[in-house]
Chains A and B, each alone.
Chain A
Amino acid sequence: MSEPIAIQAPQPSSIGSSRIGAAGFAIGIAIVALVVAAALVGNALVPQDPFTQDLGNRLKPPFWMEGTQPGHWLGTDQLGRDYLARLVYGARISLLIGIMTVITSGLIGITLGVLGGFFGGRVDDFVLFAITTRLSIPVVLVALAVVGLMGSGLGLVVATLGLLLWDRFAVVARATTMQVRNHDYVSAAWCAGASMPHILIKEILPNIASHLAVVATLEMALAILLEAALSFLGLGVPPPLPSWGLMIAEGKDYMFFSPWVIMIPGAALAVLVLGINLVGDGLRNLLGAERLR
């Protein structure tokens, strides 16, 4: 019996390698490096504090517009807080959520996928069932419900997204494990008397790791977008933390007169996600040469 189509279904962006090529890979790495640098040292370089309010200087426009305030390069928000300081602080939140979610969901998905792909039979039936069930659960709604019922917070957002976004890890780990489990080096390890955990961790995992790295970039991008959406709806990272999604939500009431309050954090989000996806695409092309048979 063939697998249900939902499992074969290429979820957003998991299909084919793009023709953006080496230039895209370089741009992607540059973007991600820039955002990481902003997250690490940004607030040391920006003189303003991201949390200090200055009600006399509310909604000052950024440097390319008229009426800009010296010292506030990207202007100020509705409470007079420096927008640049908040933006670079927000990079920390996005990256932290992205990385932590990938670690959590990766652990769950890779464990399930490798076990299912390696043992087959009943174990695999269970893993397939778990993936099918997970795919049928509406992610945003359930994440919103969990955060809404248990209270918002960074840790809870990570835990919720981690428990929800493991499906692609499992699908890819399962498929690739199935392909490598019959290779000679696995049989050789058996004959050498290696234990089951040794074979799974030392023989199988390193040989599927490159594929999982590509999935990790996709999931990181997805987790960052979902966190932004949750925070935008008011059920993610709580204020006054400057999550980019929350900045867009707070700026929404002023967007018709000061569109830049939503344009700046939204553009930052889009550029970061594009950068991560370009890195993922580049990795896929790079690893394409040694693609599994």
Chain B
Amino acid sequence: MLRLIARRLALGVLVALTVMTLAFLLTRLSGDLAVSIAGPQATQADVEIVRKAYGLDRPLYVQFFAWTGRAMVGDFGQSYFFKDSVANLIQKRLPITLTLGLVGLSLALLISLPLGILAALRENTWIDRGVTLFTMVGQAVPSFWLALILMIVLGLQLGILPISGTGTWQHFVMPGIVLAFTAIPALTRLTRSGMIEAMASDYIRTARAKGLSRARIIFKHALRNAAIPVVSIAAVQLGFMLGGSIVIETVFALHGVGYLGWESIAKNDFPVVQAVVLVLAVFYIGLTLLADILNALLDPRLRTG
């Protein structure tokens, strides 16, 4: 068990370092950064001043190691646009993205667990087909489009929720619903297939033979086993959702890390872009690590590593 965790941790660190390198290279893709920072009206002399001021005249590997070294201790440099340290900016925005992620995940689980269980217990009936159709449609609807529809219906026509912005808890409801929708199809299908597999297993037959009540069989025996993959996948899903929240945060002008990423891309603010990519990747890596550990804890068969 400990060996498993140690190996996963080492893998996670290695992946994080690779992502760091990629994030650095990504922002150097545009060719000459000094030109893009200085802006279209800048003269050659201005560009040279910018190049010196931002240390872009140094060789690439020097810039890379300087950035990596400081990033390790949480110093991501200064933002060009926001005139603040990148670490500060991210610290301010992170709670919003995490809140959104947790709201989205909770909503997704609240909807997909009952739906998946229902579909599994009524396998091959119209209820099951309806649930499948729902997941297929949910998968096809673009999240930003769903967001706009909710704005029109809940925001304008019914007037019960604010259309955009950050501030009160109401601002998290619509983005949370949209984010939940990105995870519901996968989680529902997973719950359904896990439940069907569990209901067909030998221990359920034994439980039935012992004369246990149906509710007890479903919730005590089958669900416990079906929930193992769902719980660990939910952690991985949360990682995907945090990474994918950029579109939703931008549509709703919710000032989280994703929105920060979009703003800084639009402003060529590359220290922020690098840091946001890295932070979201580290969250994903951490959450998958957690998923692996949860999986091992919940399923004794995997504990041997």
Contact = CB atoms under 8 A, between A and B. Distances in A.
Interface of A: 1-2, 4-6, 9-13, 15-16, 18-20, 129, 132-133, 135-142, 144-146, 148-150, 221, 225, 228-229, 232-233, 235, 245, 248, 252, 255-256, 259, 262-263, 266, 269-271, 273-274, 277-278, 281
B244 A138 contact: yes
B83 to A, nearest CB: 21
A19 B139 contact: no
27 contacts: A4-B8, A4-B288, A5-B291, A6-B236, A11-B240, A18-B132, A18-B136, A129-B18, A133-B19, A136-B285, A138-B243, A138-B244, A140-B243, A140-B247, A141-B276, A141-B277, A144-B262, A145-B277, A221-B139, A232-B144, A255-B151, A255-B152, A263-B149, A274-B136, A274-B137, A274-B139, A281-B136
B140 A273 contact: yes
A221 B136 CA distance: 12
Shortest 3 CB-CB contacts between residues of A and residues of B: A138-B243, A149-B30, A266-B145
Given A20-B132, A149-B29, A136 B144 contact: no
Nearest to B151: A255
Contacts of B281: 136-138
Output the residue of B145, B244, B276, B277 with the most chain A CB within 10 A.
B145
Contact of A135 (B4, B140, B149, B284): B284
Nearest to B186: A12
B26 A228 contact: no
A248 B148 contact: yes
Interface string B6-19: 01100100111011
B29 to A, nearest CB: 5
A259 B149 CA distance: 9
A65 B262 CA distance: 37
B192 to A, nearest CB: 7
Contacts of A229: 142-144, 247
Contacts of A146: 26, 29
Interface stretch (B68-76, B201-209, B210-218, B265-273): B265-273
A129 B302 CA distance: 21
A4 B11 contact: yes
B186 A259 contact: no
A262 B30 contact: no
A250 to B, nearest CB: 12
Contacts of B250: 233
Given A5-B233, A18-B132, A142-B26, A137 B19 contact: yes
Contacts of A132: 11, 15
Given A137-B19, A271-B140, 20 more contacts: A1-B4, A4-B8, A5-B291, A12-B185, A12-B186, A13-B139, A13-B186, A15-B193, A129-B11, A132-B11, A136-B19, A138-B284, A141-B246, A141-B258, A145-B273, A146-B29, A229-B142, A269-B142, A270-B140, A274-B140
Contact of B142 (A137, A228, A255): A228
Contacts of A135: 284, 288
Contacts of B185: 12-13
Nearest to B280: A138
A262 B295 CA distance: 42
Contacts of B148: 248, 252, 255, 262, 266
Nearest to A13: B139
A250 B205 CA distance: 58
Interface residues of B, number: 73
Contact of B236 (A5, A19, A133, A232): A5
Contact of B129 (A15, A19, A277): A19
Given A4-B288, A137-B22, A144 B261 contact: yes
A5 B232 contact: yes
Output the residue of B11, B18, B136, B239 with the most chain A CB within 10 A.
B136
A270 B277 contact: no
B181 to A, nearest CB: 11
Contacts of B48: none
A12 B186 CA distance: 5
A67 B16 CA distance: 57
B261 to A, nearest CB: 5
Nearest to B292: A5
B255 interface: no
B284 A136 contact: yes
B137 A138 contact: no
B134 to A, nearest CB: 11
A225 B192 CA distance: 25
Interface string B227-263: 0000011001001101110110010000000100110
A154 B217 CA distance: 55
A5 B288 contact: yes
Nearest to A265: B145
B62 interface: no
A20 B129 contact: yes
Interface string B169-206: 00000000000001001100110110000000000000
B90 to A, nearest CB: 13
B1 interface: no
Contacts of B242: 138
